[in-house]
Chains A and B, each alone.
Chain A
Amino acid sequence: MATRDSVWNEMPAINRDLLAPLLTISARYLALVAGLATLVAAGAGVWLYQIETGIGQTNMHPPVFWSSYIASFVYWIGVSHSGTFISGVLRLTKAEWRRPITRIAELMTIISVMIAALCVFFHLGRVWRWYYLLPYPNQRQIWPDFRSPLMWDATAIFTYATASTIYLYLPLIPDFALARDRVGGWRQRLYALLCLGWKGSQQEWETLNTAIRIVTPLIVMVMVSVHSIVGWDFGMSLVPGWHTSIIAPYFVVGAVHSGLGMVAIGLYVVRRTYRLEGYIRSEHFDKLGKLLVVTTLTLAYLYFADQLTVWYGKKPDEMAILHSLVAGPYAVPFWTMIVLIYVGPLVLLTAPSFRAWPAGMMLMGVGINVGMYVERALIIVPPLTHPRLTYQWSDYFPAWSELVILAGALAMAVLLYVLLAKFVPLISIWEEKEGRLHAASR
């Protein structure tokens, strides 16, 4: 059991360990960056081709007007809930085990929100007129229509992106000051700018804590509203299978589910790459696993409630969709999804020994995210391919151009994360020190 004294004495070691990722650039790192940049360039090239020739490069056709790009948008917004949930909710509940995880998760949040916005741009038919969505006075005397759920989306995601960036930045200020004193070169000038001249006086700490304590509940409320509003993009429509009141809570819980899975992946990768086993311990994976059990059960409950209603009510438009999922053309992705996001986590994560196995948790995270992506796609496509007028029934599978563009987007997300890892200490240094001191004082 560490004593207060020993915690104070190990602070230089903590600084060294947690700043080490910033200081070294290995050949493997450069190779990774080069590979990701190539993928991003490929995606960008295909996207430009799509802008030039038209959305017809995808496989969309009436009645399937929305497909993989919107599925990706919903998925990435879902992943972005990881940071806010872990940072915000665990701060509110004063859970001490959040400390090494918050920075990793918050970085994931802002990157995911950016990629989600990018997916919307992929989807727009006339993306060069995207600024029609901005509310500003203009000579055409026209404003966007706020009655559209997409404008609620735009407002909510803008709020969420701004709030998340602020929320990432707030606890970073003392860490930037620390880094400024120990890291040289062009980064030092940026750190000096961003740390606001932080000295570490008690007044500054109180100001920072006040700001964090005020923003935390606000951002948790924003988090709940954001994915509800994304769910209402579907819920407000008349499409059978979309127009269900459970869609908002379902999307929020699903977002936390996939976000936690992504955090498990990030934790494992960071721990393994930078040898941070002393900081990211099996207890963190264990607690994460328990949270995942809660989200799995909740999500399964909401999904079952929704589908039970459809199955029992036997309305033809909705039954057609349920049938196509369970035993029809979409059966394979559907049952894969069920295993990946419900059955697998429930079976494996209830075993404490599995939860404490970092590599296993990482694989679980991958499985959950793949499953959640398939789930988003299955929410969008089967209802659209089965409209009420059965003459228009159709099918859909993504085109190669869509897959390349979305792979480029994923590569962009990883690339941004990898680049930011050389600028931002991946574990919040002062919070880690504070946590150890609290643990020693008890």
Chain B
Amino acid sequence: MSHDIRKLRCFAHSLILHEATVNPPSPTRRATALPVLDKLRPLLATFMGKTGYQALILRAMIMAGEEVPWLCNVEIAANGNLENYNEQSAKHETDEKADGSEILLAHLISLLEAFIGEVLTLRLINELWPALPKDDDFTLEDEHD
């Protein structure tokens, strides 16, 4: 993997917070990766096909599951939707929930970056979140680059 997953996790964290700012969740719910994935899914499925997206999110899920085991229990629908994500995350403490959310998104971005490169990955993301700030939190570059 070309980028440190910790750095990508920071990016994922910032993206989740940004989405929560644009579309705030209900007061009782904490921001998760789900709304981000819900936005990414149709765009990626448009050019990869649903099957392609499903394979990509499955791979990200398995990689993230090595760090956050409860993610392995999340089921993925044929269209790439995470079927029981909320139920599974509800079984865990807040920090674990956040970990799962951010790490899953970080791995998905990492896969995209590995396949199509940083420029195109950021382009896709900027297409969905055009108001994304252009600061350090929103770059895929490693700190040591």
A and B associate: no
Q: Give A contacts to B, CB under 8 Å.
A: none
